[in-house]
Chain A
Amino acid sequence: MQRHPASKFAFIRGVMTHMESTSSLLQKQQKRTYYMWVMVFFLIMTTCIGSLYYCTLKIDYTWRWYRVPQYFFFNEEIEVRTDVAGTVESIEDTTDGTLIRINGDDGDSIDYAYPSKKVRIYEGDSLFEGDVLGSYHKWQVGILLQGLWLTLKVSFVAIIFGILLGLCAGLARISSNPAFKWLAITYIEIIRGSPLLVQIFIWYFVLGTLVNTMLAQYGIPQVPPLWFGVASLATFTGAYVAEIVRSGIQSIHKGQTEASRSLGMTYAQSMYHVILPQAFIRIIPPLAGQFISLIKDSSLLGIIAIRELTKATREVVTTSLQPFELWFVCAILYLVLTFTLSMLLQYLEKRMIHS
């Protein structure tokens, strides 16, 4: 820190100008070696992808990729039905569809408008309640995208609560107060040491039943399974985040605490202004790993009837009977989520270091 590396470089630069030709040769060779290894990388990747493709050809399976897109978006035919019995008074073509007027048997007339030219009745027909007047097509979001969205939502909320919980537990873990410290240790060890699957069961079937029974007694609406799922993921992540926070804080040099405390700052002020901002930059990489795990762990929530991406895929596989395509797609969708998160946190880390 106190040496002056600039002078060293000046010396090297001086030598290099004297040996211009040699150094440029060296640079050329270094460049060649670099590009050679880049080629090696692409070669290995191509081989991997190629062999995977070869394997897919060799298994006894008919690939029907064209069946996959409908689970993202599909064009649903929606039938328009009459709510009343009566006779059709008029059918008009409007600019963007059809307008049907029905004279009800009770004397009122009702208009039905929909965006299509498909009509299944004629003027003067008598209709019963529920008869189909016509139909139109509408793009709907498929079950896989719905599942993806739910996975994203559950993970996001669980990450937010996980950070808060982990921060509190991490600070309690290094506290000298035995109640805080031992509570934190108990929490961390139990949660980290037991299977997430069992924790989800306990949250939903034990705590969930208790909470919902109590709510029912007071006539308050039930808490849906989604929130017990979020709670189980948040407590699970919180335990890991707590350890990450603890190691981050302890990695900050003791002198920082001493300097801030010697200026008269309280423990909390020193934490907030001096220690945590520095610790935060250091814990971003391990946090990223933890959150990626969390996104993938959310696939377990299917067991308590939360239709996130994995459960959605399982349902689609049952109806489509194309397991390979759909599980591949499922994996790729998880990859998209985790990779985006990873990039986002790397960007955040870089920005924080530069500022």
Chain B
Amino acid sequence: MINVNNISKTFMVPHRVDALVDVSENVARAEVVVVIGPSGSGKSTFLRCLNRLETADKGQILIDGVDILHPKTDINKVRAEVGMVFQSFNLFPHKTVKDNVSLAQNVVRKRSSKEAEEITMALLNKVGIADKQNVYPDQLSGGQQQRVAIARALAMNPKAMLFDEPTSALDPEMIGEVLEVMKTLAREGMTMVVVTHEMGFAREVADRVIFMDDGRIVEEGTPEHFFTNPSHDRTKLFLKQIL
């Protein structure tokens, strides 16, 4: 589903940072991969490279067989197939919840208003905020906003979902409701790449956990292996610090 071959990314502004160094990774269909690591380890950059919000300097990225770094690739088509959820939700504040979810359906997928509305309502039901359909985002709690953001991404019928620290900006009591939606998605067989600090989620839902540090993948494996018997010293130190 997602094939990453030897990508590198260096930021020159404000100063030189090698965010990704020769990273390779494959994510199979319906697989849930959780990426963890200290801040500045390149995990978010890695995720953002997957739908070219950041353009990798070197290497190759195939999304469902499409080389997204090829100049002839229509990146908008690829992005419509890969949903993304952000740490800061990024809902459109000038649109109601319903319009947030249906906007891209109309504009990108060219669905009729009626069809889009049906899909929107089904998704809002699924994430449990159908009663807030006519409310503006700033009237929702963080957890509700993030669930709308997930519904918005799902409305495009994506083949894979990318989550960039979806619970990091939430109050503790709201993390659960967002994770619950993500677990449902995982059970339904969605291909997911999740950058998170929620070790509980990683342990419970992940098929594979990747630990990144300094722009490199240090260690990866099943959650059992990862949390009970990590082989790398850097991983052991990180786990000791956060658990």
Contacts and interface: CB of A to CB of B under 8 A. Distances in A.
Whether chains A and B associate is: yes
Interface of A: 1-3, 253, 255-256, 258-266, 269, 273-274, 277-278, 281
A299 B156 CA distance: 55
Given A2-B171, A2-B174, A262-B53, 9 more contacts: A253-B90, A255-B90, A259-B86, A259-B152, A261-B79, A262-B82, A262-B153, A269-B108, A273-B103
Given A2-B174, A258-B86, A274-B92, A263 B142 contact: no
Contacts of B169: 2
Contacts of A269: 107-108
B168 to A, nearest CB: 12
Contacts of A281: 94
Interface string B125-161: 0000000000000100110000001001100100000
Interface string B75-86: 011011111101
A253 B235 CA distance: 35
Given A2-B170, A2-B174, A258-B53, A263 B153 contact: yes
A274 B108 CA distance: 13
Contacts of A253: 88, 90
Given A2-B174, A273-B103, A265 B53 contact: no
Nearest to B100: A259
Interface of B: 51, 53, 76-77, 79-84, 86, 88, 90-94, 103-104, 107-108, 138, 141-142, 149, 152-153, 156, 169-171, 174
Contacts of B84: 258-259, 262
A255 B108 CA distance: 19
17 contacts: A2-B141, A2-B170, A2-B174, A255-B88, A259-B84, A259-B152, A260-B104, A261-B53, A263-B103, A263-B108, A263-B153, A263-B156, A264-B81, A265-B107, A269-B108, A273-B107, A274-B92
Contacts of A266: 76
B94 A1 contact: no
Contacts of A264: 76-77, 79-81, 104, 108, 156
A277 B141 contact: no
B53 A259 contact: no
A277 B99 CA distance: 14
A262 B79 contact: yes
Contacts, number: 72
A252 to B, nearest CB: 10
Contact of B93 (A258, A263, A265, A278): A278
Given A2-B171, A2-B174, A277-B94, A262 B51 contact: yes
A256 B92 contact: yes
A274 B81 CA distance: 20
A258 B108 contact: no
A263 B86 contact: no
Contacts of A278: 92-94
Nearest to B51: A262
B2 to A, nearest CB: 15
A265 B141 contact: no
Contacts of A265: 76, 104, 107-108
A258 B94 CA distance: 16
Nearest to B48: A258
B105 to A, nearest CB: 9
A8 to B, nearest CB: 15
Nearest to B140: A1
B7 to A, nearest CB: 18
A273 B93 CA distance: 12
A50 to B, nearest CB: 48
B107 A1 contact: no
A345 B142 CA distance: 33
Contacts of B171: 2-3
Contacts of B170: 2
* A-B residue pairs, 3 tightest by C-beta: A264-B80, A259-B90, A255-B90
A255 to B, nearest CB: 4
A270 to B, nearest CB: 9
Interface hub of B76, B81, B142, B174 (most chain A Cβ within 10 A): B76
Contacts of A260: 92, 104
Contact of A263 (B79, B88, B94): B79
A172 to B, nearest CB: 22
A258 B90 contact: yes
A255 B107 contact: no
B4 to A, nearest CB: 18
A263 B104 contact: yes
Nearest to B171: A2
A266 B174 CA distance: 33
A262 B82 CA distance: 8
Contacts of A274: 92, 103
